[in-house]
Amino acid sequence: MINPMPKSIDRGPNLSAERFVKRYRSEKYFKYLGLFAIGIALSMLIVLTSSIIFKGHSAFWQTHIAIDVQITSEDVASISNANFRGITRTSIRSEFPEVKSRRDKKQLYKLFSNGISFEIKEYFFKNKIQSGGIYRVWVKASADIDMLRKGFINRDLEETNRRISDKQLKWYDQLDQEGRIEKKFNVTFFTAADSREPEQAGILGALVGSILTLFITLILSFPIGVGAAIYLEEFAKKNYWSDLIEVNINNLAAVPSIVFGLLGLAVLLNWFGMPRSAPIAGGAVLALMTLPTIIISSRSALKAVPPSIREAALGMGASRLQTMLHHVVPLAMPGMLTGAIIGMAQALGETAPLLMMGMVAFIVDVPGNLTDAATVLPVQIFLWADAPERAFVERTSAAIMVLLLFLVTMNLVAILLRKHFERRW
């Protein structure tokens, strides 16, 4: 190519072909760099969710073992008085008559969950069995056997390095050959509260705790947030005071959540004497935390209602409050609800302030009312993540899946609500 510029006047742009190639190459690189960055961020999202699903899917199945329970007709007649612990143990022993020593028996019992006598009792109670005899009952295996079944315990390790002894392995194989070990859907995970034994632990307690807490959060923050938004948007005179409130709300939205926890601890628990660990106290803190979100979104929803609506109502002789409550607020309601749902989703995933409010207690009961000690789903995840047993890892991931499912649903509802009611004025 001919360079039109004489070399001696080297002032003008360098229009050489190499430079063009270089510039266009860097143009391309820059574009791909941006795409690459988005790719990294997306792949992080994929890695995160897939690692959770990969770790957690197995928790929805629980290994069960069938045992032949021998029961006398007297025991059947009076189920509530029968010694099911004894019945269970004799039934287990009779399957393995060669087990004699105390230590071996203890190991044998450890194949099963330590709550199986209750399971067996319930089996007889539920099926209304009237006569004695031998019944085959599927009961939960212990967490270690469960892990073995799911392939998380390496059989080739030396005996001292694994949680299951050689003898237990032998018994397990024997049962397995007889087709008496099966994985069944883990109902307990959805119907039980927390437990020290992984196979008996469930998320129901935490789920109910979350619902109670969110209920308090919603009934406190939604009316107050909407009220504040209406006042600030429609009634407050624009002056120093309203500026202050506005700046204050924006800052409050960015205060770290744990600081709200400190506020709750110092003011709600220690000063007002609210009950520790209770949904009512936790919900109140979350309400303060989500308030800015709701106020901000409600204000933008109110702003989106065109002034012509207000003018028409005022022109027809409505008072300012009537204009607001009868015309503007109903039109802004979908937007406000969307904001509220997003705020609730935020509150549902929040952990740190609730740690401060004492909702980290180990609670084996499903909370019944707003002042019972309770825990919430994210805190349950936090607690299980700390537990050393391998079986809790999959349960933690499964609980995360449930939590994410709730969050996705809430956000989808918000999006649909917005789509459905979105109006171009």
Partner 1 sequence: MNTFSFICIFLIVLSGAYIFGHRYALSSVKNSTELHSLPSYHGFYVAIWFAFPALIVLVFWYFIEPIIIKSILLESIRTTAFLGSTTPDLLLNDIKNLATNSFALKSASAVKLELVNRYLELKSLGIYLKIVILFSIGMLGIFIARKKLSPKMRARQSVERVFTLVLGVCSIIAILTTIGIVLSLLFESIRFFNKVSPAEFLFGLHWSPQTALRSDQIGASGAFGAVPIFAGTLLITLIAMIVAIPIGLLSAIYMAEYASPKFRNWIKPTLEILAGVPTVVYGFFAALTVAPVIRGFGESMGLSVASESALAAGLVMGVMIIPFISSLSDDIINAVPQSLRDGSYAMGATKSETIKKVVLPAALPGIAGSILLAVSRAIGETMIVVMAAGLAAKLTANPLEAVTTVTVQIVTLLVGDQEFDSPKTLAAFALGLVLFVVTLILNIVALIIVRKYREKYD
Q: Write out the binding residues for partner 1, residues 8-37 only, by CB under 8 A.
A: 13, 23-24, 26-27, 30-31, 33-37
Return the residues of window 262-301 that contact partner 1 according to CB under 8 A: 262-263, 265-267, 270, 288, 291-292, 295
Q: Name the minimum Å distance from CB 162 to partner 1.
A: 19
Q: Site map for partner 1, 296-335, x if CB under 8 A?
A: -----------------------xxx--------------
Place of tokens 């989703």: 345
Q: Figure out which of the listed residues 248, 311, 362, 368 binds partner 1, where binding follows CB under 8 A.
A: 248
Smallest separation (angstroms) from partner 1 to the CB of 423 = 19
| HSE-CB of 38 using CA atoms within 13 angstroms | 5
What's the chain look like in SS3?
CCCCCCCCCCCCCCCCHHHHHHHHHHHHHHHHHHHHHHHHHHHHHHHHHHHHHHHHHHHHEEEEEEEEEEECHHHHHCCCCCCHHHHHHHHHHHHCCCCCCHHHHHHHHCCECCCHHHHHHHHHHHCCCCCCEEEEEEEEECHHHHHHHCCCCCCCCCHHHCCCCHHHHHHHHHHHHCCCEEEEECCHHHHCCCCCCHHHCCCHHHHHHHHHHHHHHHHHHHHHHHHHHHHHHHHCCCCHHHHHHHHHHHHHCCCCHHHHHHHHHHHHHCCCCCCCCCHHHHHHHHHHHHHHHHHHHHHHHHHHCCHHHHHHHHHCCCCHHHHHHHHHHHHHHHHHHHHHHHHHHHHHCCCHHHHHCCCCCCCCCCCCCCCCCCCCHHHHHHHHHHCCCHHHHHHHHHHHHHHHHHHHHHHHHHHHHHHHHCCCC
Asked if 381 touches partner 1 (CB under 8 A), the answer is: yes
- Report how far residue 89's alpha carbon sits from residue 378's, in angstroms, rounded to the nearest whole number: 38
| Residue 41 CA, distance from chain mean position | 22
The number of residues that bind partner 1 (CB under 8 A) is 84
Interacting span for partner 1 (CB under 8 A) from 81-89, 189-197, 331-339, 403-411: 403-411
- Structure-token pair, residue 81: 């008085």
| Segment interacting with partner 1 (CB under 8 A) among 45-53, 107-115, 185-193, 211-219 | 45-53
Residues 116-135 that bind partner 1 (CB under 8 A): none
236 binds partner 1 (CB under 8 A): yes
* C-alpha R_g of the chain: 32
Region 178-217 residues binding partner 1, contact defined as CB under 8 A: none
Please give the Cα distance from 354 to 105 (Å, whole number). 44
From the CB of 102, what's the least distance to partner 1, in Å? 34
Q: Which of residues 360-379 bind partner 1 (CB under 8 A)?
A: 360, 378-379
The binder of partner 1 chosen from 181, 207, 218, 232 (CB under 8 A):
232
Nearest distance, CB of residue 175 and partner 1, angstroms: 31
Name the minimum Å distance from CB 302 to partner 1: 12
The CB-of-13 to partner 1 minimum distance in angstroms stands at 7
Minimum Å distance from CB 61 to partner 1? 20
Lay out the site mask for partner 1 across 98-117 (x = CB under 8 A, - = otherwise).
Answer: --------------------
Instruction: Find the binder of partner 1 among 21, 45, 134, 304 (CB under 8 A).
Output: 45
225 phi, psi to nearest 5 deg: -65, -45
Instruction: Name the one range near partner 1 by CB under 8 A: 76-84, 102-110, 306-314, 346-354.
Output: 346-354
Minimum Å gap between C-beta 185 and partner 1 is 24
Among the residue ranges 57-65, 115-123, 230-238, 307-315, the one whose residues contact partner 1 (CB under 8 A)? 230-238
Query: Taking the complex as a whole, how short is the minimal distance between the CB of residue 32 and partner 1, in angstroms?
Result: 9
By the rule CB under 8 A, 79 interacts with partner 1: no
Strand partners, 139: 65
Q: Of residues 260, 335, 341, 398, which one binds partner 1 by CB under 8 A? A: 260
- In contact, 281 and 269? CB cutoff 8 Å: yes
| Inter-residue contact 113 to 200 (CB < 8 Å) | yes
Report the residue number, 26 or 127, with the smaller CB distance to partner 1.
26
- Taking the complex as a whole, how short is the minimal distance between the CB of residue 48 and partner 1, in angstroms? 6
Nearest distance in Å: CB 52, partner 1: 7
Q: Which is nearer to partner 1, 79 or 387 (CB)?
A: 387
Of 102-110, 118-126, 164-172, 351-359, the segment contacting partner 1 by CB under 8 A is 351-359
